[in-house]
């Protein structure tokens, strides 16, 4: 009975996360063109959208906008979204609420979606949306004023488990780190053979003890305390494991923030031109 209550309590925590994430506070699409996004024939001009994902937004405005500004070099009219992909809903209540939330995302994101998050990439793709990972583009449009700012530094690269088959992401993030001047250190298990950070399928939230065991196994492979990842959830995990977890855009900024709901709120409130 105690275990059942604990499981139910953890499910409620995740469901509250989803209720807040899909509330009007966060479920917003920010347009670059506002009212002039209407064509002469009365049809809405659907823009390509940058979809940071809730974990990245929790790192703060600067960590998101650093990437968004690079993407605007490719598409100056790209919008930006404050939505969650709904992945946590897949792993609670047997996913009964996921389809409803997926439809809400589809309704608000009819053009191509560019995402920074491997979890969002898979979840949105599985939901039938046109989704692209941004990391090859960040590598292509790498800001030259950031070149070699870490010359001589050594850092590990952790490939998220949801990106095991994202070969282009593997190479792009390593290229970005090399351009930053970082000597990239590899885990014993990397790329398609990478190990989980403990958060796969909401394990750290639904079964924290199991999540920590998985994390400890991964941390045991570290040969440096500095661990870079292109999944903000993984970055948080490595911080929990006693490492200095860093997200790619935090490398550009040379600063980091502790992830929080307050950062997500400030991110959404700071962005102009919000439309439902």
The β-bridge relationship of strands 274-275 and 29-30 is antiparallel
Mean pLDDT of 72-87: 90
Flag whether pLDDT at 89 surpasses 90.
no
160 Cβ partners below 8 Å, 6+ apart?
118, 119, 194, 197, 229, 230, 231, 233, 234
Tokens of 276: 């439902």
pLDDT at residue 77, as a whole number:
86
Flag whether pLDDT at 35 surpasses 50.
no
pLDDT at residue 201, as a whole number:
83
- The model's confidence at residue 36, banded by pLDDT at 50, 70 and 90, is very low
DSSP character string of 52-114 = --HHHHTT-HHHHHHHHHHHHHH-TT-EEE-----HHHHTSGGGTTHHHHHHHHHHH--S-EE
Q: Within 13 Å of residue 85, how many CA atoms lie on the same side as its CB?
A: 30
Q: Is 147 helix (H, G, I), strand (E, B) or coil?
A: coil
- The model's confidence at residue 3, banded by pLDDT at 50, 70 and 90, is low
- Look at 12 and 214; give whichever has higher pLDDT: 214
Percent of the chain at pLDDT exceeding 90: 59
pLDDT digits 0-9 by tens, 106-142? 988 988 999 999 999 999 999 999 999 999 999 999 9
Which of 52, 58, 9, 10 lies closest to 203, judged by CA?
A: 10
């Amino acid at each position: 009975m105690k275990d059942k209550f604990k499981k139910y309590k953890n499910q409620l925590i995740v469901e509250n996360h989803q209720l807040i994430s899909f509330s009007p506070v966060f479920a917003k699409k920010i347009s670059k063109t506002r009212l002039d996004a209407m064509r002469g024939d009365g049809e809405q001009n659907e823009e390509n959208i940058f979809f940071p994902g809730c974990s990245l937004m929790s790192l703060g405005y600067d960590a998101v906008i650093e990437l968004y500004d690079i993407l605007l070099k490719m598409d100056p009219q790209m919008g930006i979204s404050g939505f969650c992909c709904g992945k946590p809903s897949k792993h609670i209540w047997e996913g009964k609420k996921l389809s409803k939330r997926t439809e809400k995302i589809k309704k608000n994101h009819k053009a191509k979606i560019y995402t920074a998050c491997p979890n969002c990439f898979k979840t949105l793709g599985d939901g039938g949306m046109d989704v692209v990972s941004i990391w090859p583009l960040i590598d292509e449009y790498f800001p030259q004023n950031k070149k070699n700012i870490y010359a001589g530094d050594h850092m590990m690269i952790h490939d998220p488990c949801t990106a095991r088959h994202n070969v282009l992401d593997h190479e792009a993030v390593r290229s970005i780190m090399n351009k930053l001047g970082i000597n990239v250190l590899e885990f014993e298990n990397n790329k398609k053979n990478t190990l989980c950070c403990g958060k796969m399928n909401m394990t750290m939230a639904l079964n924290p003890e199991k999540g920590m065991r998985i994390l400890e196994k991964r941390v045991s492979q570290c040969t440096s305390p500095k661990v870079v990842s292109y999944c903000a959830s993984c970055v948080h995990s490595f911080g929990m494991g006693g490492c200095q977890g860093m997200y790619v855009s935090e490398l550009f900024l040379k600063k980091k923030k502790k992830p929080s709901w307050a950062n997500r709120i400030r991110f959404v409130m700071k962005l102009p031109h919000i439309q439902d």
